[in-house]
Structure 1
Amino acid sequence: MSQHPDYYRTVSLKLSEVLNDIGVNERMILKRRMVLLMETMWTSTWKLLGMNMSIYHFGSRSEGSTTLGLQSDTDTLFCLNKYNVIQDWAEWQPSRRNLLMIQDETTSPGYCLLQKLRDDEHLPTALLDRLPDSRGKVLLKNTSYRDAPLEGRVINGPASSMEGSQGIADQDFVPAFHCRSWPAEARPWLLQQGIGRWPTEDMKRYCETKGCLTVPVSSKNSQHEELEWRISTSHAERCLMFSLNITQLRCYILMKMILKALINPQCDGVLSSFMCKTVLFHCIQNTHSNNWKKSNLLSCLMCCITVLQNFVRNENCPHFIITENNLMAGRISPHTKHKILEILKIILQGEGRALLGISIDDLGMRLQVKMNMGEALLYHQTPAKIYTFISAELLLNTASTVSFSHKFLLGEIKHDGNAIVRQGLSDYMITLTRMYREMGSSSLEKSALKLLAPLLSSSVASVIASHDIYTTHSISPEALTWFSAGLNSDVASGRLKLASALYCVGDMERAEFVLKNVEEKYDLNTVESVCECNENVFHYPRQGFRHKCNTGNEEVIKHNIAFCVRFLRCEICCVPEELQYEMFRSTQEDRLERDGIFDTWMDFAVVDSLPYLYFLQYKIYGALQRVVDQQCALANLVTTIDTESNLDHTETALNLLGQCMERENQHIDALRCYMKSLNFRARNNAANFLICRLLYVLFTVTEPALN
């Protein structure tokens, strides 16, 4: 096959077509970088809490350098900005936790020690306990941040992982401290210039302004295993990745596929995707830029494989920015080295044939079809289906981040008193407004705050309205103004909170009008339910929703997402009696089974939007004595519970349905609902109380007949 004079060009173009089909193209890469909005949402959330911390999702997902089949994890780095890492005493700042970066003959290249400094004057911290390798200095142990939870709030540790459920990426959480100055070891890189004239001088200047990070990881052969910190240039690497053209990104993705499918399964996983990225950077720097085009993809890939082969042969993969840092140091045994070189030799001699054996994203089969070497297979996902699935996954993940941030902010208030909660929510909104005004007109921060603000506005509105109803049995203009600001958070939750308050104040006509509006907007073919209270099992998004996501951006959240409806205890006067039980679901014994961080929502009343819509309709039509409409709402509630696979609070919906059945005098059906509810959640479930109450009612009704 390779005897054909245009072989490399033909394979390159066909390979480019395959990669385009599986979502590696300019449009989908820009879509994937929506992950940047998610990291901004998290950073904004911490700022609202008064925490000086920045969140970053570094790696393949934010770069767009992945595919569905690669199943890349999410590298989440949280930077604790209260720490100030300095390389020179002139960078010391008062009232900060200053740490002096130390590099000497005992530290590995690309690593450092961190000496604690006083925050009131330019002096080291006094020596209390002499450490064997500290030479009289008080050094910060990296284990302090691996073993202890961050502020008691989030999972911690360098590369400590939180396993994702089906369809949801695993997440690695890594703490870090920022150093505003460029690492001394990396200064020569700023002056280097390769054949490709990449990176440009502008890019290098930008990278220099971003400084570096230190993360609590020691080198393989460290003399200071508990004291050494890795110097990370992740900000600069992100800048470099964002500058790549489509052929360079495709080359990187092919390298990762080769690594995952052909090398690491036989070689103990000693090579990493970061090494592939480093190889790519070196190749781009040392080749002419006009080489990196679609018709030359295979040649570029072979060039990268050759460089990787040389690195393995020399057991030295120099970090692209800190070149003295050997990424392969101490990682490859002689046997593994021989095996890797053997595989790489076969790949190079085969001139791309090895790609035909890669099953990730059906790459090999797709390439065979493109090369007329195999029959077209009907079960291949079409490019359109892949694009829509990627887009839907990104929008759902973004919406989940918004929902989680809202839940997290509510949980941090930690008080039931109406006035205190109202003040806490008001503080959030004041801070949010100030942050919004300080942002640039097209910044990610503004987009993130615009998604979060309506949910918080609805919470403020309901807290105010609950106090209004308790004191005056009315809803004040102030509360209605806040409700109005929260209506467009999504298709349902803000409106349902308003309808719930109107029902509780007895304004059935206006409540019915709001619910009709929700029903009109809630297109069952295009709306997806999103809630981050529980660990969701991923479901395949419905076709109409996928289509909306493929043609839209984060604005889809407002028009095609239904968040769950959350009520704090101090909103109790805006909550129908049947839902109030959810606020008191937990006994003292139940509380022992709760996660102190992720289960704070269990002190709220939380319900999915669609079942709550039908429940409120049932209640309101009953109050209006519209029996036919009431029974229709009840039937819709039953159907929703039976058919909607993505409800997050099915147990709550069943508890509401059970109480409707009690009202219908169908007590056995009510009991069945409560028992089914317990199948979904045995503990921390109001059904335990509702069953006892129902049995008491049945017993007291039948007792006279027994006598």
Structure 2
Amino acid sequence: MSRDPAYFRTISVKLSEVLDDIGVNEKTVLKKRRMILLSETIGKIELLLFDKCVTNYYFGSQSEGSTTIGLESDMDLVNCSHFVHVIKDWSEWQHGMINLLMIRDETTSPGYCLLQVLRKDEPLPLYLPEHLSESADIFRCYTVRGGRTLMKPASFNIDVDAFGVTNVKNGPANTVKLAGFTECDLVTAFPCKSWPVEAQAWLVRQGIGRWPTEEMKTYCEKTGCFVVPVSSKSSQCEDLEWRISTSMAERYLMFSLNITQIRCYILMKMILKVFINPQCNGVLSSFMCKTALLHCIQCTYSNSWQPPNLLACLTFCLIMLENFVRQMNCPHFIIPKNNLMAGRISPREKHKILEILQNFIQTEGRALLAIPIDKLGTRLQVKMNMYVAFNYYWSPALIYEINSGDFLMHVSTAINANHLLFLERITDERSGDVQEMLSDFTFKLMNAYREIGCNSLEKSALKLMIPLLYTSLGSAVASSEIYADGVISRKALTCFSIGLNSDVSSGRLKFASAMYCLGDMIKTEIVLRNTEGLYDLNIVEPVCKCFVSRTVPTRHGFKYKSSTGNEELLRRTIAFCIRFTRHEINCVPQELQYEMFRSTQEELFERNELCDFWMDWAVVDSLPYIYFLQYKTYGHLQRAAEQQQALTNLVATIEIESNLCHRETALNLLGQCMEQENRHNDALRCYMLSLNTRARNNAANFLVSRLFHAFARNRHVV
């Protein structure tokens, strides 16, 4: 075997260049981390407004920036429930909370625990009679064993079926498959503010490279831990064991790595995906690769991890992983007594993995040429002048554009989804006065925005969310005023003004809709013309999260524009759907009001209340609504040519725009325009296409009946 240092340095430098080209560089990694953490922060805004008991955290490769397009890494979403208080000793008990005491004994595996239920009124165990039937309601969450009342893990797995998405059970996670999106592993967890006992030794352990630093360890200790409803593979009490997770600390450690260390981890995952797991039933995980990397970093000097040493560093990590497999023990980095390989690998699989790793190490990097992911092997051959340069793979600039577009779409989706949840909470029948709640919320968020320091994720998140809520407030106020006095006050106009730049179009279109319902056609036409001018069809992407829908690839212009900045570009590249609650009905044209009453009594009974609540509103995509309002406005202004052009644009949008989430609503609006044109056959065709898109909970059912009634009354023959 050649151990020529010059050879290793040459391969390492070229390999680093290839990884830079496919997006594994500081610029892309930092941007991905910012956008994912910004999405997480947007979700936490609810904590400022509601008595929220759940927080979502993003973990894994996507949040770390330790992936590539070709690796197709999933998103790890931890659904953290705060309605319980997990404690490690009695001194942490809190009055009025569901307190769960961590129990570790000879039956629990290292890194795992049982959760004993305590009383809410005083720090004592909760006792349940052991003779109760296991069918009793209380036993859905609890069981009694050895005189202790214990929490059952199985009762806290997320029921993603309730949200109408496809999912696959994957250990503690539900792998949710959303069309057009990266797979997302959803895991339920309970938080514990205390650092786990099993990880105390890690705080004082010191490696050669003095990494992690004492400051980093102090920060990690403050993050506490989670408990996750999953047992060890070799557990004696599989139905009761909870895993102790230090995901928050692990994410922080990954954020501290330099780009060579990140590249090393990505190469390990590629090797795992291409060479090992296809032959070994997927028994090794990327988390084991990460664990090997962290152990290697701890026991080496930090200056070793530089681009000219990449191949040597990769070899060192693979040898570490090989030793773990040989010993059948992969010690968790923070809780080393937790063997990540326990009960996972059969003797045959062990032999095969060792053979693959040994062969790969002996090739001294030549096996990397066979990796097809992101065309890494071919790109490396080109860099080494082993292959004639070719142009059919993605350029570094294009890869950065694709990544940037994905990041911006992720943030936009988070904003849209959270706005949906805000409106659902606000318009709940038990919520009280909607205008008062919206005023209170906007006041709270504005105060929080002023108090937060510059350059924080919290400030950026509030800056993105506040305009949407102001638009909703302005529309609700204007609706009441139009109904009562036929005017719109300065307060409503101020709210609309603050919300104009929430995105490319939705804030402006809600303002235009209010002006239209007020009867101010001149102002309506000006706003619509300006909005159409801002809506660049080559750049702007529609975004809607009212329900899970098929998502098509984004426009090239959107990707390019996304690469020129961060979340601030949302205002020039994203068009949110427009949501009118029933409290805004007087700001909604009659043709769109039908959408608020789309469901029959039978359909109301069958709807999923967790995710179909938006069907009581009028919701429409921005682009078709521009043309619909133009058609109506130009009709009032008696500008026939421009009215017909708007109708033509509406037809073309419905036919050509592939990413309309509320296509049935656009078709219903088009059908009513056709009725106004006395083109009744075309109107019927629109309604039937609408029903083909959404057969139930569709206003087209009523519109068809109305159209047939008009036929009968006027004795028309279809």
TM-aligned CA distance change 1:477 to 1:344, over 3 Å: same
* Aligned AA (1:159): A
Displacement of 1:291 after TM fit? Answer: 1.1
SS of aligned partner of 1:61:
helix
Asked whether 1:209 is paired with 2:210, we answer no
Map of 1:578 onto structure 2 = 591
Q: 1:40·1:55 contact (CA, 8 Å) conserved in 2?
A: no
Aligned counterpart for 2:701 among listed residues 678, 685, 688: 688
Distance 1:492 1:418, change over 3 A: farther
Cα 1:148–1:416, aligned 2, differ >3 Å: closer, same or farther?
Answer: closer
Note the alpha carbon deviations across 1:566-619, whole angstroms, 9 max, x for none: 111221111111111111111233346643322221111111111101111111
Q: Contact conserved, 2:400 with 2:563, CA < 8 A, in 1?
A: yes
Q: SS of the counterpart of 1:639?
A: helix
For residues 634 and 285 of structure 1, the distance between their equivalents in structure 2, rounded to whole angstroms, comes to 66
| Cα distance, 1:302 vs structure 2 | 0.6
| 143-152 or 436-445, larger mean C-alpha shift | 143-152
Deviation at 1:99, TM superposition (A): 1.5
Q: Secondary structure at the match of 1:244?
A: coil
Letter in 2 for 1:163: K
Cα distance change, pair 365–147 in 1 and its aligned pair in 2 (3 A): closer
Summarize the Cα distance change of 1:638–1:210 in structure 2 as closer, same or farther, 3 Å threshold.
same
Q: 2:148 aligns to what SS in structure 1? A: coil
Q: 1:338/1:573 Cα in 2 relative to 1: closer, same or farther (>3 Å)? A: same
CA drift at 1:180 = 1.5
Cα deviation per residue 1:261-301 (whole Å; 9 max; x = unaligned)? Answer: 11111101100010000000000011111110001101111
Counterpart of 1:483 in structure 2 is 496
Q: 1:337 to 1:245 in 2, by over 3 A?
A: same
Match of 2:318 in 1: 305
* Equivalent of residue 512 in structure 1, options 509, 519, 525: 525
CA 1:238/1:461 → structure 2, altered by over 3 Å: closer, same or farther?
same
Cα 1:261–1:460, aligned 2, differ >3 Å: closer, same or farther? Answer: same
Task: Note the alpha carbon deviations across 1:51-92, whole angstroms, 9 max, x for none.
Answer: 133210011101000111111111111222232222222222
CA contact (8 A) 1:49 1:409 kept: no
Q: Is contact 1:425-1:460 (8 Å) kept? A: yes
Match of residue 6 from structure 1: 6
> Are 1:145 and 2:161 an aligned pair?
no
Query: SS in structure 2 opposite 1:214?
Result: strand
Partner of 2:106, secondary structure, is coil
After superposition, the C-alpha distances for 1:87-134 in whole angstroms (9 at most, x for unaligned) are 222222222222211112211100111111222222222343379983
Deviation at 1:148, TM superposition (A): 6.3
Count of matched residue positions in the alignment of Structure 1 and Structure 2: 704
Matched residues in 1 for 2:406 and 2:248: separation?
25
Residue 403 of structure 1 deviates from its aligned partner by 0.7
* Structure 1 residues 336 and 40: CA distance shift in structure 2, 3 A: same
Distance 1:637 1:417, change over 3 A: farther
C-alpha displacement of 1:412: 2.7
Structure 2 gaps, min length 5 = 132-141
Please list every run of at least 4 consecutive aligned residues from structure 1 whose deviation after the TM superposition is greater than 6 angstroms: 130-133, 147-157, 416-419
Verify: 1:164 aligned to 2:178, yes or no.
yes
**1:95 aligns to 2:96 (yes or no):** yes
Cα shift at 1:416: 6.7
Q: CA deviation at 1:185?
A: 1.1
Aligned pairs for 1:91-490 (under 5 A) are: 91-129=92-130, 134-146=145-157, 158-166=172-180, 168-415=181-428, 420-437=433-450, 439-490=452-503
Structure 1 letter corresponding to 2:698: N
State the AA in 2 paired with 1:44: I
> Which secondary structure state, in structure 1, belongs to the residue aligned with residue 342 of structure 2?
coil
Q: Give the superposition deviation at 1:48.
A: 2.6
- Distance of 2:476 and 2:207 partners within structure 1: 62
Asked if the contact 2:128–2:144 (Cα under 8 Å) also holds between the matched residues in 1, the reply is no
Whole-Å separation in 1 of the counterparts to 2:253 and 2:432:
50
Q: Which residue of 2 aligns with 1:697?
A: 710
Task: State the partner residue of 2:136.
Answer: none
Letter of the 1:25 counterpart: N
Is the 8 Å Cα contact of residues 418 and 570 (structure 1) preserved in structure 2?
A: no
Q: How much does 1:3 deviate?
A: 7.4
For residues 536 and 402 of structure 2, what CA distance do their matches in structure 1 show? 19
Alpha-carbon RMSD across the aligned residues, in angstroms, is 2.3
Q: Is contact 2:160-2:174 (8 Å) kept? A: no
CA contact (8 A) 2:144 2:150 kept: no
Distance in 2 separating the partners of 1:398 and 1:448: 9
Task: Tell me: CA distance 1:3–1:338, structure 2 relative to 1, closer, same or farther (3 Å).
Answer: closer
Would you say the 8 A contact 1:43–1:53 is kept in 2?
no
For each residue in 1:617-657, what CA deviation from the matched residue of structure 2 results, as whole angstroms up to 9, or x when unmatched?
11111111111111111111112112212111111111111
Q: Distance in 2 between matches of 1:311 and 1:614?
A: 63
Distance 1:386 1:594, change over 3 A: farther
| 2: CA distance, partners of 1:259 / 1:594 | 44
How is 1:543-562 mapped onto 2 (pairs within 5 angstroms)?
A: 543-562=556-575
Q: Note if contact 1:416-1:570 (Cα within 8 Å) is conserved in structure 2.
A: no
Q: What one-letter code is carried by the residue in structure 2 that aligns with 1:170? A: E
Tell me the SS of whatever aligns to 2:227: strand
Deviation of 1:158 (Å) = 3.0
Deviations 1:485-512 (A, max 9, x none): 2111111111111111111111111111
Structure 1 position 519, deviation (Å): 1.7
Give the 3 Å change call, closer, same or farther, for CA 558–152 of structure 1 in structure 2.
closer
Given the two structures, how large is their TM-score scaled by the length of structure 2?
Answer: 0.94
Identity score, percent: 59
Contact kept, 8 Å, 1:153 with 1:597, in 2: the verdict is no
Bigger shift: 82-91 or 258-267?
82-91
Separation in structure 1 between the aligned mates of residue 100 and residue 143 of structure 2, nearest angstrom? 19
Q: Kindly indicate whether residue 74 of structure 2 is the aligned counterpart of residue 73 of structure 1.
A: yes
Output aligned runs, 1:528-543, within 5 Å: 528-543=541-556
Q: CA distance change for structure 1 residues 413 and 253 in 2, over 3 Å: closer, same or farther?
A: same
* Residue of structure 2 equivalent to 1:86: 87
- Alpha-carbon distance in structure 1 between the residues aligned to 2:151 and 2:552: 44
Cα contact 2:158–2:187 (8 A) shared by 1: no
Partner residue of 2:668 out of 655, 660, 663: 655
d(CA) in 2 for partners of 1:417, 1:525: 44
